[in-house]
Chain A
Amino acid sequence: MSTHASSPSAPAPGKALLVGIAGIAVSLLGLFVHGAEKFATSWLIGMTFWVAVALGVLFLVMIHHIFDAGWSVMLRRQYEHWLSSFTWLALLFVPLLVIAWTHPTLLWSWMDPHYDLAAHGGHGTVGDDVLWSKKSGFLNRNFFTGFTLVSFAAWIGLAAIFRRNSFTQDGDGDAKWTLSSRKWAAGGIPLAAITLSGCIILWVKSTEYHWFSTMYAVWFFANCMRVGLSLGLILMVWLWCRGDFKGLLNDNHMHSIGQLMFAFTVFWAYVTFSQYFLIWNANVPEETFWYNIRETGDWFYVGMTLLFGHFFLPFLTLIHYPVKVNKKLMPYIAFFIASIVLLDICYNVMPSQKVASGDPLPFLQGGLIWTIAAVIGIGGICVWAYLRSFATTKLIPIRDPRIGECLTYHQGHAD
């Protein structure tokens, strides 16, 4: 295990672990203060958010390999460290599986055929609901558990392969590791796409199991990419501020990642607009109800915040070249995008918690604090995993075939 010889010493991961444990402890406190439902929702949001980050990172690593990209080699090393968080995320998913097997109706009412829909303005029980029985081959606890476990296994496996290939190459400088990564990336992208789609449908979309939209997984993918890129930018600038990346990171790297952030801002808007617009225009009640409940109470303003904060604001700032290469400003934009992704996930998860009238619970309520705690807690563990991995390897993949290109990266205008 070699550490960085003369660059700043590797940061100690201990603090992140403390933050993680503290966050988790606080969110557990919510269990006693506001009840199990609040905790379950908070935990699901926290998990979905950090899985989105890790999946975005996984996709970016695979896309890097499949394009044989040059400029992003040193960023990829940081992503590879981040991929170590998958193992811990799998572990942190256990509470949700416990909920699924013991108190499923906290989140997924379809898991309990005896669940009384009348409590929230429906009729009969889930078991009598034809809209559930038709899809019970997919929406059942065994499939939920099995698919989740398989997905985590796939992600952990892919993460381990890319990490091993890259880290081993530092030592032996063998080209076969790069070629192996390329092959695994080609196969891994469809695999990750399918697992991502299934998981987001099972975890989040099914919280409102009557509703359906073919675009949903693409929407989640867009968020994964946005938050993954934001993380990449934050890590790059953080390492630059610490001094590790001084003399390595240049404006062109900043510009390129900024362009990708911009592109995926547009992509997110495209996907989200299309989904909303098609449902709005067709005006079929079995679809529109999902958006209708999100226009009641303060959810309307959350929706507007998403429209402006998730699209217009990043779009209008990231479009400018000087912004994209501004190392002071960009981390703020990245943090902002990441928090709006979190809000987007809240927007998708929270309104399925209803009050007796059938309306969703308001967004701004005391329970929000447990959500924030869960996000900080799980995030702390992810950061801890990243920092632990960070200390074990070279700062950049010194034997990567494209590292030279990355370090001398300068781009033409039009090519």
Chain B
Amino acid sequence: MSTQPYGLIAMYDTPAAAMHAAEQVRDAGYKFWDVISPFPVHGMDRAMGMRRSRVPRISICGGLLGFTTGMSLIWWTGGYNYKLLVGGKPFFSPLFAFPVSYELTILFTAFATIIGMFVLNGLPMHYHPVMKHPTIHRGSDDAFFIVIETRDPRFNAANTRSLLEKTGGKEIAELES
């Protein structure tokens, strides 16, 4: 069964070149495409026409969950399940429950943020068509790539290739899926 290729890849030498190219790909109306860079290029999100990341929403949920967990844990254990008088202090007070709830807020936020980030990114994913590209190791070193996927409705082997050429892409190649 001959499968459709995954997409076309082109290499760029500088962040500026990659960004100008990305702007043109964005303006050509592509949706399923990506930029590979060894570090986050400042302004690339806008050049790709991307929305602000949704990670913060997940983080906030984690934080709220953590705080609630802390408060209810301390209330339930000390103020309800097994009341024990210590140092004349109340069985429960949000004041002394605060430090632990605070720590749990941070702990849960951290987990939510990291898990949320990896899930949104679809990672871990150890095999990806892009990673079979022979010079892709430079994408984590000093080179920049643009990948346009074949599943994009505007994808057309010839037109897309000429767009990448026009933007100054080098070593344009097809990626097997």
Contact = CB atoms under 8 A, between A and B. Distances in A.
Contact of B95 (A277, A321, A412, A414): A277
B96 interface: yes
B96 A412 contact: no
A281 interface: yes
B96 A414 contact: no
Chain A: interface residue count, which band? 10 to 19
B40 interface: yes
A412 B41 CA distance: 9
A134 interface: no
Contact of B40 (A277, A283, A410, A414): A414
B95 A280 contact: yes
Contacts of B95: 277, 280-281
A321 B95 CA distance: 30
Main secondary structure of the interface of B (DSSP, over half): loop
Interface in A358-415: 410, 412-414
Contacts of A412: 40, 42
A413 B96 contact: no
Nearest to B53: A413
Interface in B52-95: 52, 88-89, 95
Nearest to A414: B40
Interface string B40-55: 1011000000001000
Contacts of B52: 321
A283 B52 CA distance: 48
Nearest to B41: A412
A20 B43 CA distance: 48
Contacts of B40: 412-414
Nearest to B56: A321
A413 B53 CA distance: 11
Interface string B84-110: 000011000001101000000000000
A281 B96 contact: yes
Interface string A281-308: 1010000000000000000000000000
B147 to A, nearest CB: 22
B78 to A, nearest CB: 15
A238 B27 CA distance: 37
Contacts of B42: 410, 412
A273 B96 CA distance: 11
A413 B88 CA distance: 49
A316 to B, nearest CB: 11
Nearest to B52: A321
Nearest to B60: A319
Contacts of B96: 281
Interface string A309-351: 0000000000001000000000000000000000000000000
Interface string A254-297: 00000000000000000001000100110100000000000000
A259 to B, nearest CB: 14
Nearest to A281: B96
Interface in A158-174: none
Interface string B123-149: 000000000000000000000000000
Contacts of B98: 273, 277
A412 B42 CA distance: 6
B51 to A, nearest CB: 13
Contacts of A283: 88
B88 to A, nearest CB: 8
A250 to B, nearest CB: 14
A414 B98 CA distance: 29
A70 B75 CA distance: 48
7 contacts: A273-B98, A280-B95, A281-B89, A321-B52, A410-B42, A410-B43, A412-B40
**CB-CB nearest 10 A-B residue pairs:** A412-B42, A277-B95, A280-B95, A281-B96, A413-B40, A414-B40, A281-B95, A412-B40, A273-B98, A277-B98
Given A277-B95, A277-B98, 13 more contacts: A273-B98, A280-B95, A281-B89, A281-B95, A281-B96, A283-B88, A321-B52, A410-B42, A410-B43, A412-B40, A412-B42, A413-B40, A414-B40
